[in-house]
Structure 1
Amino acid sequence: MVEVTLQNTFIGHQNPIYTLAIDEQNGLLYSAGNDKGIVEWDLNTLKFKRVLCAVPSSVYNLCYIIERDLLVATLRSGGILVIRKSEPELIAKLTIDKGAAFVVKAILSKNELIAIDEYGKAYVWSLNNFELLYSFQVINTTVRSLALDENKHILAAGDKNGFIHLWDIRDYHKLTSEQVHTQSVTSLAFVDGYLISGGRDAKMFKTSVPYLSKVAEITPHMFTVYGIIPLNNSLIATVSRDKTLKIWDTDFKLLKNLSRDKGIDSHHLSINSIAYIEKQQLICTAGDDKMVKIWKVVF
């Protein structure tokens, strides 16, 4: 049995929200999107805390690195900002050759930060001094989703043609590439030893690692699956352009459907991002309706 109840709705953004990040240790949530600012919310009081900082353009992706108190933001204009969150203070402004990066991840076992631009080029910086260590072409098209399993040393990326690519992070050699979806891969998550992917084709697949053979598949939503997060080793949550938040077990059995069609005060436009704070068992969702919703999950 899974129970999910809406705790609060955060308002204040003036434009669609694209990305969320969690500081679990301090119970803080960060949201950003088409506004020119990153907002900090307090999940202990369920209230607005502050506008952390202004940004020069829309933010595509946020990545919080708890071990270093750093918030990384990829910008539509192409830059990547590294912000010391507690001050706040701009620590570094990273550059890429052209276009923007939709994805960024910290690889703590190597003290590295990796981003992939919209032309498929990867950039790896040192987390110690943010020196660019190396850059290399990984694929020839846009990457929209990224997931990391540090224990197995595997980085997964999903591209706009439906392919999933796996690399060994120890030296970034490619392990495999397979076309899993018929359209763009928009979400990825490692869960209980498998890789779960969602796409613009409204499909969700469970695949083996590192061979990417399909173990299970389902059409979980009516439209694009924009987010997949593990809640524990046996449950996942998904969000979609169809305005719904759903809870599943890892065999893809639907446990909860949270939507306005079910009489629940959910989002009324596309849900673009999802985050989970395990300590408080709170799911955070945000989207085109400019709202952040906080859900309590009990299982």
Structure 2
Amino acid sequence: MASKVQVQKMATLTGHRDCVYSLEQSGCETHFYSAAGDGMIVRWDFNDPENGELIARTESSVYAIKYIPDRDLLLVGQNNDGLHVIDVKQKAIVKSVPLPKVPIFDIEYVAELNKIYVGLKNGGIAIVAADTFELETIVRKSEKSVRSLAYNAKTNELAAGYSDHSVRIFDAVTMDLKFELQNHTNSVFSIVYSPDGELLLTGGRDAHLRVWEATNNYKERGYVIAHMYTINNITYSPDGRYFATCSMDKSIKLWDAETFKLLKVIDKVRNASHGTSVNKLFWSAHKNQLVSCSDDRTISVWDINFDAL
């Protein structure tokens, strides 16, 4: 089964001068953004992968970026300097949101609620109004970092993965705490809801991929030891039938979203993949291409073909 998925590396994107931490979609299907430890925000074109376009440069590392499609704005979480709002066309900062001077690890934008949620190293989740970019409040349920955020439109809940080994589920409007999931044994680095809102997938430093039934009071359906080391990111394919994980063990793995069977391993030996930790994934609707970024300062574009399955 595993060998039937065809994977081909389409491009290796270079230019960042430090570890690449974040990837994000753009308003155009053929474009996406990257951010890195060098403070550079770059826009890439699948049709012209050799030439990245510098959109902004910040003073410190950037771990999180988020695109606001209806306004063509890019939210940039700087290491110790708050949230910046960048007008992509003008390549200019149009607003800076002062926040506690700690790293920002994740940003979630929810258009229907007019809210931006920002995960902070001090354990806080900052809630920012999406129309005015004014800070509304900071909700802090832990002393440890908020590493990952995910919104579920079906249940109107915000999930947050923390470095205290917990996943906390909030009412996305009131920010009342609804559930605490504590089965992980180390920091939770990545969380994602299934496209239908039925499941929550979580992963982190314990290398366990855990599956929770979001519409059944977050009962745990099960888990797999998905990688040798930390799971850094989990992302679904555009059609929701598959998902991918990436890890500090340098590999990317492709999974069946219904059966949770491992379908393919992408690594350096078999696929000339990354030589160090793979930090983030972006699965584009453009030709079903999967994008990965790494501590090795490169970004890879993969053509994934499931037709043989």
**Superposed pair shares fold, TM > 0.5:** yes
The equivalent of 1:32 in structure 2 is: 35
> TM-score normalised to the size of structure 2?
0.92
Q: Specify every segment of 5 or more residues in structure 2 that has no aligned partner in the other structure, as ranges.
A: none
**AA paired with 1:131?**
E
Alignment pair present for 1:59 and 2:67: no
**AA paired with 1:215?**
R
Query: How far apart are residue 24 of structure 1 and its match?
Result: 5.1
Paired residues of 2:82 and 2:100 also in contact (CA < 8 A): no
Query: How far apart are residue 138 of structure 1 and its match?
Result: 3.4
The equivalent of 1:264 in structure 2 is: 271
Q: Specify every segment of 5 or more residues in structure 1 that has no aligned partner in the other structure, as ranges.
A: none
Query: How far apart are residue 165 of structure 1 and its match?
Result: 0.5
Query: How far apart are residue 249 of structure 1 and its match?
Result: 0.8
**AA paired with 1:254?**
L
Alignment pair present for 1:252 and 2:255: no
The C-alpha deviation readout for 1:75-123, integer Å capped at 9, x for no partner, is 1123211101122121111111242221111111111111132122222
Residue 74 (structure 1) aligned to one of 71, 74, 77: 77
Give the SS at the match of 1:145.
strand
Residue 203 (structure 2) aligned to one of 198, 201, 213: 198
Alignment pair present for 1:139 and 2:145: no
1:12 and 1:205 map into 2 onto residues whose CA distance is 35
**AA paired with 1:259?**
D
1:177 and 1:158 map into 2 onto residues whose CA distance is 10
The C-alpha deviation readout for 1:152-199, integer Å capped at 9, x for no partner, is 211110111211100111221111012021000011111141000111
Paired residues of 1:24 and 1:277 also in contact (CA < 8 A): no
The equivalent of 1:95 in structure 2 is: 98
Query: How far apart are residue 276 of structure 1 and its match?
Result: 1.1
The equivalent of 1:12 in structure 2 is: 15
Query: How far apart are residue 243 of structure 1 and its match?
Result: 0.7
Structure 1, 36-45 or 153-162: larger mean CA deviation: 36-45
Query: How far apart are residue 26 of structure 1 and its match?
Result: 4.2
2:192 and 2:181 map into 1 onto residues whose CA distance is 16
Residue 214 (structure 1) aligned to one of 220, 223, 228: 220
2:128 and 2:173 map into 1 onto residues whose CA distance is 14
**Identity of counterpart residues, as a percentage?**
28
- 1:218/1:13 CA distance change after superposition, 3 Å: same
The C-alpha deviation readout for 1:179-230, integer Å capped at 9, x for no partner, is 0210000111111410001110111011111522211211111100001001
1:77 and 1:59 map into 2 onto residues whose CA distance is 9
Give the SS at the match of 2:70.
helix
Structure 1, 240-249 or 137-146: larger mean CA deviation: 137-146
CA RMSD in angstroms comes to: 1.5
1:43 and 1:73 map into 2 onto residues whose CA distance is 22
Give the SS at the match of 1:109.
helix
Alignment pair present for 1:284 and 2:291: yes
Query: How far apart are residue 7 of structure 1 and its match?
Result: 0.5
Alignment pair present for 1:173 and 2:180: no
2:291 and 2:49 map into 1 onto residues whose CA distance is 11
